[in-house]
Chains A and B, each alone.
Chain A
Amino acid sequence: MADKVLVLVGTKKGLFIAESDTARKDWSLRGPYCEHWPINHAIADPETGAIYAGGGSEWFGPAVWKSDDLGETWSHSSEGLAYEEGKEPVSQVWSLARRNGTLYAGVQPAGLFSSADGGNSWSHMDGLQKHPTRPDWNPGGAGLILHSLVPDPDDDGRIWVGISAAGVFGSDDGGKTWETRNKGTRADFMPEDQRYPEFGQCVHCVVKAPGMKDRLYQQNHCGMYRSDDAGKSWVSIEPGLPSAFGFPAAAHPRDPDTLFLLPLNGDSVGRYMPDAAAAVYRTRDAGETWQDLRNGLPQENAYFGVLRQAMATDSLDKAGVYFGTGGGALYASNDEGDSWVAIAEHLPAIHSVETVVVG
Chain B
Amino acid sequence: MNQRSDSAATANAGEVNVTLAAPLADLFPGAPRRTSVVAGNVDHMVDALNDKWPGMRDRICDTTPKIRKHMNIFVEGERATLETPLAPGADVYVLTAISGG
Q: Within B37-83, which residues are at the interface with A (CB < 8 Å)?
A: 54-55, 58-60, 62-65, 68-71
Interface of A is mostly: loop
Is the Cβ of A61 less than 8 Å from the Cβ of B58?
yes
Chain A residue nearest to B24 (CB atoms) is A60
A59, B71: Cβ atoms closer than 8 Å: yes
A85 close to B65 (CB less than 8 A): yes
From known contacts A84-B63, A86-B64, infer whether A77 and B55 are also in contact, taking CB-CB under 8 Å: yes
Chain A residues with CB under 8 A of B97: 59
- A85 and B68 CA atoms in complex are apart in Å by 14
Contact A76 B64 (CB under 8 A): no
B64–A89 CB distance below 8 A:
yes
Judge whether A63 and B58 touch: CB under 8 Å: yes
Instruction: Tell me whether A83 is interfacial, beta carbon within 8 Å.
Output: yes
In the complex, are the beta carbons of B62 and A59 less than 8 A apart?
A: no
Give 1 or 0 for each of B88-101: 1 = CB within 8 Å of chain A CB. 00000000110110
> Is there an interface contact between A35 and B64, defined as CB atoms closer than 8 Å?
no
Min Cβ gap A54→B in Å is: 14
Could you say which residues of chain A place their CB within 8 Å of the CB of B30? none
A283 at the interface (CB under 8 A from B): no
Instruction: Determine if B8 is an interface residue (Cβ-Cβ < 8 Å).
Output: no
Bound Cα distance A78, B71 (Å): 17
Q: Nearest Cβ in chain B — how far from A59, in angstroms?
A: 5
A79 proximal to B (CB < 8 A): yes
By beta carbon, the residue of chain B nearest A36 is: B23
A78 partner, pick from B55, B65, B69, beta carbons under 8 A:
B55
Known: A35-B23, A35-B27, A79-B55. A59 touches B68 (CB 8 A): yes
CB-CB under 8 A from B59, the residues of chain A are 59-61
Q: Which of B9-52 contact A (CB under 8 A)?
A: 23-24, 26-27
**Quick one: closest B residue to A63, CB to CB?**
B58
In this complex, what residue of B is CB-closest to A37? B27
- Other A-B pairs beyond A61-B58, A89-B62, 10, CB < 8 Å: A35-B23, A58-B99, A60-B23, A61-B68, A63-B58, A82-B58, A83-B63, A84-B63, A85-B63, A87-B63
Chain B residues within 8 Å of A, Cβ to Cβ: 23-24, 26-27, 54-55, 58-60, 62-65, 68-71, 96-97, 99-100
Residues of A within 8 A of B (CB): 35, 58-61, 63, 76-79, 82-87, 89-90
Chosen A-B contacts, 9 in total, with CB atoms closer than 8 Å, are: A35-B26, A58-B69, A58-B99, A59-B71, A60-B58, A60-B68, A61-B58, A61-B59, A76-B27
